[in-house]
Structure 1
Amino acid sequence: MAWKFGKFVQKASRQSPCLIEMEEVFGQSKRVQRYAGAVPVVVRLHGPWFLVGDAQGFPHDLNYQERVRAEGEAIYAADAVSAPSEFVLRAVEEFYKKELPRKIVIANPFPECFPEDHWKLPEATSLVLFVGRFDKVKGADIFIEAMFKLAEKVDGLRAVFVGPDDKKIAVEDGRVLDRQAFVAWCEEKYQRPSPIEFMGRKSPEEITQLRKQAAVCVVSSRIEMFPYTVAEALAQGVPTVASQVGGIPEMIDDGHNGLLFDSEDVDGLLACARKILASPELSVQLSANALTTVREKYSHEVLARAQKKFYRSVADCFVDG
């Protein structure tokens, strides 16, 4: 694959300027770079395995070590490195104990959201929405436990979980439970029936409609580089509560365009969600500020200009060097 792609790009570069951008996954960009000739290669950090593998609980066996090594070699062999958040760049440099010579932070593109899909303050709703997988990385267990506790304090709470729920999560006593067993464990722990409706996978259009109905969106991840669940919620102007991890604090200014809580803090999530549910004025202000943030920092025009300038600088340095 690397040989074929490299030869294809070499041929294309004779017709017009070329640049290759690839993720760091499995270090494949270095293989392509070997055959790309005089074509610069940019590594776009997506989720280095030393971060994602750890968050998912993978053992540090030979497979883990080999993937981490290969990704590190590819990252530092690249002609430039870009990342959606400052967090990812810092994490790479700290883990591999080496500064990246040519690097830049450029956010991922935000979804385009039309005015008719923008959030408006719902009438007397207590819908709390989670969009993500049932696994530890996305913090599904944190959301579920928080909703059990929130149901004790908010009458008529409706919590909705959208996303695949076929994974398993370890609980306090060391057992590894699937989604149904985990909910049953929570029902026993909190002595109340589940307040959560599990909808499974939904289309983007269906999720857009659910966000419009929600009083608050929750992102409870344990690690994130630049989560689209946050980007999508901000683009719609939905009041959002998110864990203060990874690149999320670079997207959400706490108290301005969303609320943040400490990672794995069930009570912190509960307090933030309750604060929004209790204050329509806060909800409206968070929504307006979220839309302004997206327009000023993450519009397609802003990001396209930054990307074009970066690509040009890499190409120029490659020719000069």
Structure 2
Amino acid sequence: MGYVGGLQPYKGLADLATALESADADCDLIVAGDGPERTHLEQIFGETATFLGSVPYEQIPSLYHEFDAFVLPSHTEGLPRVILEAQATATPVVATRVGGVPEIVQDGETGLLCDSHRPDQLTTAIDRLATNERDRERLGENGRTAVEEGFSWDELYDRYERALRQVIGWSDER
């Protein structure tokens, strides 16, 4: 499993530690990122996690390729770029239903969603992916396709243009 992001309390990594401890699967976690919770998290994860600290942005895509799955157990988010990055590399995603996450992860199709503050649901998702390579591949490929179709520069430009037209009340009939 892998995580990329800040090491803040609201990122839910303590929930992930609990989930990994309860998992039937023997999973290790790679953590790329830094923050005020690092020392505390290193203590609660123990030997289960490897903390890389800050990783240069240009090295992040190759890191996603090392993960069997990416996990984002946040308690709050906007529209997390890290999920789109993981999906773009066909890395299956486990994330919580917060903020804009359900807009980019369709549960069971392009990733797995769990409720925040629910380590038991994270455990179930982790065990599912750890034991089912076919599911990992399917979710990863579906996530990549979703990013290609919904977040290409052309698609983003078209969405932005449509939104601006709505704001100013512009129609094609003018």
TM bucket, shorter chain: 0.7 to 0.9
CA contact (8 A) 1:241 1:260 kept: yes
Using the alignment, how far apart are the partners of 2:103 and 2:165 within structure 1?
25
Q: Which residue of the partner structure matches residue 134 of structure 1?
A: 7
Structure 1 residues 91-102: aligned runs within 5 Å:
none
2:129 corresponding residue in structure 1 = 276
Q: CA deviation at 1:241?
A: 0.2
Percentage of pairs with the same residue: 27
Separation (CA, whole Å) in 2 of partners of 1:246 and 1:181: 26
In the TM superposition, residue 182 of structure 1 has moved relative to its aligned partner by: 4.5
Which residue number in structure 2 is paired with residue 226 of structure 1? 79
Distance 2:110 2:150 in 1: 13
What amino acid is the match of 1:223? T
Structure 1 match to 2:120: 267
The residue that corresponds to 1:307 in the other structure is: 160
Q: Which residue does the alignment assign to 2:25?
A: 154
TM-score by length of 2: 0.88
Distance in 1 between residues matched to 2:79 and 2:41, nearest whole Å:
28
Distance 2:78 2:40 in 1: 30
- By how many angstroms is 1:216 displaced? 0.5
RMSD of aligned residue pairs (Cα, Å): 1.9
Q: Which amino acid aligns with 1:213?
A: E
Q: State whether residues 132 and 164 of structure 1, in contact with CA within 8 Å, keep that contact through their aligned partners in structure 2.
A: yes
Q: Which residue, 133, 142, 146 being the options, matches 1:289?
A: 142
Residue 30 of structure 1 corresponds to none
2:23 is aligned with 1:180: no
1:6-34 CA distance string (max 9 Å, x none): xxxxxxxxxxxxxxxxxxxxxxxxxxxxx
Shift of the alpha carbon at 1:195?
0.9
> What is the SS of the residue equivalent to 1:198?
strand
Aligned to 1:144: 17
- Rounded to whole Å, the distance in 2 between the matches of 1:149 and 1:207 is 28
SS in 1 for 2:11: coil
Contact 1:134/1:141 (8 A) holds in 2: no
The 3 A distance-change label for structure 1 pair 313 and 181 is closer
Corresponding position of 1:210: 63
Q: Which has the larger radius of gyration?
A: 1
Match of 1:239 in 2: 92
Q: Greater relative contact order (Cα 8 A, min sep 6): structure 1 or 2?
A: 2
Alpha carbons 2:73, 2:95 under 8 Å: kept: yes
Kindly report which structure 2 residues correspond to 1:193-208, keeping only aligned pairs within 5 A, or say none.
193-208=46-61
1 CA distance for matches of 2:101 and 2:169?
Answer: 32
Residues 251-274 of structure 1: per-residue CA shift (max 9 Å, x gap): 111000100111011121121011
Q: Which runs of 5+ in 2 are unaligned?
A: none
Deviation, structure 1 residue 245: 1.3
Letter aligned with residue 39 of structure 2? Q
Following TM superposition, by how much is the alpha carbon of 1:140 offset from its aligned partner in structure 2, in angstroms? 2.1
Whole-Å separation in 1 of the counterparts to 2:160 and 2:100 = 19
1:254 match: secondary structure: coil
TM-score (norm 1): 0.49
Alpha-carbon distance in 2 for matches of 1:244, 1:315:
32
CA separation of 1:302/1:194 partners in 2, compared to 1, >3 Å: closer, same or farther?
Answer: same
Q: 1:307 to 1:130 in 2, by over 3 A?
A: same
Q: Distance in 1 between matches of 2:84 and 2:141?
A: 15
